[in-house]
Structure 1
């Protein structure tokens, strides 16, 4: 999705440098909800430029540094449309495969260690949830949040709540197992 993110930002915000794109991505926390790392945009820009989807508009000199300003091309707009349609088409269901694998072989680990690990995972999910809520509140202070962005926030919250519910159920069941000295059958 890095390519779509870069092309989309150039289309919506106009010509920018890699650094400016990176700053927009950081402020939007794309690493949390789109798994797009801000540092990956430089590689994406280079590839998109080679493929003709972005164009080097100007090369600005500031002190000893030069800053490349890129813009999206007509071909880049078509590529963005293609990437977006593919993203809507692809399955958006993502399973917690690490957790499922751990559950499969959980009898090889200590129950106390598993419960502690689940508590750490729960804290990490709660942090994502709180960070997203804070981000939404900050965004709402400076602008009216478009409905398509509200859909993203809502889905993130629902995903976090679903996973926290599952982890709570596991913790409760495992604590019961620990208290009764039973094993998973």
Structure 2
């Protein structure tokens, strides 16, 4: 999965209509270059590829700008990527970061269900690593690797439980709720005077 694809689709979706510079400026201001390895070139590549695939529609705006809108196919791809980012623990944190940045795009009940899937997967990973630590014999130092996996999964379990508690307690306006930034076209475009 590509965090850049998810983020680009999410920003276009959020604004309703967005051009490359606006998308890039938002993502860079979020620090996505660090936590999702997003680069300006990868943003424009994603825009071209998503347009070629029919997930974005492009419109030339004189003198030299292209505006993008998400298509129905793009909305399906966005939902698939976002849901996978939240439900599947990955070794690299970029997809989870992208999923969290776009979390309000989901209804609260959907986000909670996906995070419960993530929690179950993390608990399973933790338990499997714990068994490997207990059973591993030779070479003994490899046990440290399994210990790292156990610790990483266990901290993921604790964090996921905390997020679930916050969401179930009503934190963050989610799609369909009042003041949610998760509905398509709901993002205000900041105008600098």
TM range (shorter): 0.3 to 0.5
Structure with more relative contact order (C-alpha pairs < 8 Å, separation 6 or more): 2
TM-score (norm 1): 0.47
Structure with more helix by fraction: 1
Rg larger in structure: 1
